[in-house]
């Protein structure tokens, strides 16, 4: 795919945390993600993956370099679902879209149906399990039909079965409505199961140490396991 205005282009020369002396977190990161490619950012905990994601999300502009985001909306599934606890599930979704969106209720219902939460429309998030709250966060992200979707360890601290169901859900949603995706994870198997391409962050300050295409026709457990072994 040719490099165009539709791709995500990250050029972070330096990102430091303030302090005396400042702590260098990221150095010389160059990454281009073509339209609709799913890239997993893999690396050990605390290496700066989430920091990089916040830069890409535009939530932190204290760095040197440039980030070009594809035109269109941005959505983020944060590590914590970050739902408004004082608003119902449906209200949480509605707030992500402009109030004059045509057929807002219909779109919300369809999205809740798609993530298997059709009956939970008017429930407050605190009354849902953690796995269900994550699904609401995923629903909110897809509801805005993002051009760029950022996922920050979206399935961390879930039991294996729930995490697996959520991964399937994410694959389904992406198949129905593709987006350029940057997924942060420390779980290599999860990365292989979801991504077209693995980008490894490492070192201190962190840089890109490896960039691997995942070319798997099928993403069942055996295929993921085989690819995982082949990488060692």
- Rounded Cα gap, residues 70 and 6, in angstroms: 5
Which one of 30, 82, 177, 210 is in contact with other proteins (CB under 8 A)?
82
Instruction: Tell whether residue 223 is a contact of other proteins (CB under 8 A).
Output: no
β-bridge pairing 8-17 and 197-202: unpaired
In this structure, which long-range contacts are made by residues 91-98, counting pairs with CB atoms below 8 Å and at least 24 apart in sequence?
92/125, 92/136, 92/140, 93/136, 93/139, 93/140, 93/143, 96/140, 96/143, 96/144, 97/143, 97/144
# residues contacting other proteins (CB under 8 A): 25
- Cβ-based nearer residue to other proteins, 58 or 119: 58
Nearest CA to 183 out of 53, 37, 40 is that of 40
Which one of 17, 44, 86, 203 is in contact with other proteins (CB under 8 A)?
86
Q: Which residues have CB under 8 Å from 190's CB, separation 6+?
A: 40, 155, 163, 167
Q: Which stretch binds other proteins (CB under 8 A): 70-78, 163-171, 191-199, 203-211?
A: 70-78
Instruction: Tell whether residue 75 is a contact of other proteins (CB under 8 A).
Output: yes
Instruction: Tell whether residue 59 is a contact of other proteins (CB under 8 A).
Output: yes
At closest approach, how far in Å is the CB of 208 from other proteins? 24
Q: Which stretch binds other proteins (CB under 8 A): 18-26, 43-51, 76-84, 170-178?
A: 76-84
- Judged by CB under 8 A, the chain residues 179 through 198 that form the site for other proteins are none
Orientation angle between helical segments 130-143 and 160-176, nearest 10 degrees: 10
Which one of 27, 35, 73, 165 is in contact with other proteins (CB under 8 A)?
73
Instruction: Tell whether residue 107 is a contact of other proteins (CB under 8 A).
Output: no
What is the binding site for other proteins (CB under 8 A)? 54, 57-59, 73-76, 78, 80, 82, 84-87, 91, 95-96, 98, 124-127, 140, 144
């Amino acid at each position: 795919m040719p490099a165009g205005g539709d791709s995500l282009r990250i050029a972070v020369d330096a990102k430091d945390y303030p302090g005396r002396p400042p702590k260098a977190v990221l150095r010389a990161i160059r990454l281009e993600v073509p339209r609709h490619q799913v890239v997993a950012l893999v690396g050990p905990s605390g290496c700066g993956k989430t920091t990089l994601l916040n830069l890409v999300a535009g939530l932190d502009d204290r760095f040197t370099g440039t980030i070009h985001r594809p035109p269109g909306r941005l959505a983020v599934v944060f590590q914590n679902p970050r739902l408004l606890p004082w608003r119902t599930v449906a209200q949480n979704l509605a707030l992500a879209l402009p109030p004059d969106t045509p057929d807002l209720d219909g779109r919300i219902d369809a999205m809740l149906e798609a993530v298997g939460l059709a009956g939970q429309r008017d429930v407050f998030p605190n009354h849902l399990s953690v796995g269900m709250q994550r699904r609401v966060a995923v629903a909110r992200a897809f509801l805005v039909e993002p051009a760029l979707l950022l996922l920050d360890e979206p399935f961390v601290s879930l039991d294996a079965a729930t995490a697996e169901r959520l991964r399937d859900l994410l694959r389904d949603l992406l198949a129905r409505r593709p987006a350029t995706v940057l997924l942060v994870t420390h779980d290599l198997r999860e990365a292989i199961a979801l991504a077209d391409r693995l980008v490894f962050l490492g070192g201190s300050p962190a840089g890109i140490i490896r960039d691997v295409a995942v070319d798997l026709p099928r993403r069942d457990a055996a295929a993921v396991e085989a690819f995982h072994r082949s990488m060692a």
